[in-house]
Homo-oligomer: A and B are copies of this chain.
Amino acid sequence: MTEFTSTQIQLAARPHGWPTADDFRTVEVVHGDLEPGQVRVRNEFVSVDPYMRGRMNDTRSYVAPYAIGGTITGGAVGRVVESAAPEVPVGAVVLHQHGWTDTVQADAATFRVLPEIPGMPLSLHLHVLGMTGLTAYVGLTTIAGLREGDTVFVSGAAGAVGTAVGQIAKLLGAKRVIGSAGSAEKVKLLTEKYGYDAAFNYKDGDVRGQLAAAAPEGIDVYFDNVGGDHLEAALAAFNDGGRAALCGAIAMYNTTDRVPGPDNLANIITRGLTLKGFTLASYLHVAPEFQEKMTPWFSGGKIAYDETIVDGIENTVDAFLDMMRGANTGKMLVRV
């Protein structure tokens, strides 16, 4: 056993509006010998996700805010390099929530050993086969009550969750899936790779008009990753009895002004709509059902995915900021 040093990214200050590099600091943490029951893990991939922006604020939510001076926690996969816990042996691939660090030393119980499937990149456990895929599945099923024949609208459709939502919606029997994204290239990808029946670039403006044109018969389900003008457009396009799963509001995460909501909330009454917000922490019990569905879909080649990979733990903050700006297609990851 030897002392070793890990490189970790900590929150230095609560961002006001858009985060900057100054809101974070990179520190070297020196660890002592393993205690009994602990393992040491060298990360291979670290996840950067939109929800992390919310945790940087000191506001009430299901999940506690990040502490100033604490390491940014979140999903990561790595390999055990040293073990004082027989159930998590050296060489095992593990999933954990220790976040933005190149190496982590902690109780074995905080790691989940993953099966290694030849040819399957470990990074997938951080998106289509992991939390991202589960988020898409829970939102469509438990939250929005997707039914066969529904028309589904997805905002932020080219992001990690959005690319999964479109495909899962079709696999579950949606008639038509419409997506919005922030570039012509992403819009093309949605229809050519991810099975979207129609897509539009919200940066072309008139989100309401573009959605109405793409969904002439209205929408039944809305999976919201964006909020703001996208939610307003969905409320205008909803058929009676429509259901919205509110998963994210990236449009609002970095604003410092109070941004008024849609002006057509009265449609919720007149059309008998249901809006339901969720964070995955409350729906982890759906994971077994998701695995049961996702495993054959994935091995049957029915799930396409993209990864935008940034190398080096020291570039994690840049990766996070790029993701918030929409620079990624599919899942944004840091390769350690």
**Could you tell me which A residues sit within 8 Å of B by CB distance?**
54, 59-62, 227, 231, 240, 246-249, 252, 258-279, 282
Residue of B nearest to A228 (CB): B265
User: In the bound complex, how far is the Cα of B59 from the Cα of A271, in angstroms?
Assistant: 11
* Contact partners of A249 in chain B: CB under 8 A: 265-266, 269
CB <8 Å contact, B227 and A62? no
Grouping DSSP codes into helix (H, G, I), strand (E, B) and loop, the A interface class, with mixed when no group exceeds half, is: loop
30 sampled A-B residue pairs with Cβ under 8 A: A59-B270, A60-B270, A60-B271, A61-B270, A62-B240, A62-B270, A62-B271, A62-B272, A227-B265, A231-B265, A246-B265, A248-B269, A249-B265, A252-B266, A259-B263, A260-B261, A260-B262, A262-B265, A267-B277, A268-B276, A268-B277, A269-B278, A269-B279, A270-B277, A270-B279, A271-B277, A272-B278, A272-B282, A274-B275, A274-B277
Residue of B nearest to A235 (CB): B261
Residue of B nearest to A232 (CB): B261
Residue among B62, B261, B268 making CB contact with A246, cutoff 8 Å = B268
Interface centre among A249, A264, A272 (most CB of B within 10 A): A272
CB <8 Å contact, B263 and A261? yes
A249-B265, A261-B265, A275-B275 known, 6 other contacts, Cβ within 8 Å? A227-B266, A247-B269, A248-B269, A269-B277, A273-B277, A274-B276
* Contact partners of A62 in chain B: CB under 8 A: 240, 270-272
Residue of B nearest to A282 (CB): B272
Q: Could you tell me the distance in whole angstroms from the C-beta of A135 to the nearest C-beta in chain B?
A: 12
* Contact partners of A247 in chain B: CB under 8 A: 269
User: In the bound complex, how far is the Cα of B61 from the Cα of A234, in angstroms?
Assistant: 16
* Contact partners of A262 in chain B: CB under 8 A: 260-261, 265
Known: A62-B240, A274-B274, A275-B274. A258 touches B263 (CB 8 A): yes
Q: Could you tell me the distance in whole angstroms from the C-beta of A134 to the nearest C-beta in chain B?
A: 16
Residue of B nearest to A55 (CB): B270
Q: Could you tell me the distance in whole angstroms from the C-beta of A34 to the nearest C-beta in chain B?
A: 37
CB <8 Å contact, A268 and B275? yes
User: In the bound complex, how far is the Cα of B62 from the Cα of A263, in angstroms?
Assistant: 19
User: In the bound complex, how far is the Cα of B177 from the Cα of A274, in angstroms?
Assistant: 24
CB <8 Å contact, B240 and A269? no
User: In the bound complex, how far is the Cα of B259 from the Cα of A276, in angstroms?
Assistant: 22
CB <8 Å contact, B272 and A277? yes
User: In the bound complex, how far is the Cα of B219 from the Cα of A16, in angstroms?
Assistant: 29
Residue among B263, B268, B271 making CB contact with A260, cutoff 8 Å = B263
* Contact partners of A282 in chain B: CB under 8 A: 272
* Contact partners of A260 in chain B: CB under 8 A: 260-263
User: In the bound complex, how far is the Cα of B231 from the Cα of A288, in angstroms?
Assistant: 37
User: In the bound complex, how far is the Cα of B264 from the Cα of A249, in angstroms?
Assistant: 11
User: In the bound complex, how far is the Cα of B266 from the Cα of A247, in angstroms?
Assistant: 10
User: In the bound complex, how far is the Cα of B248 from the Cα of A263, in angstroms?
Assistant: 15
User: In the bound complex, how far is the Cα of B249 from the Cα of A248, in angstroms?
Assistant: 26
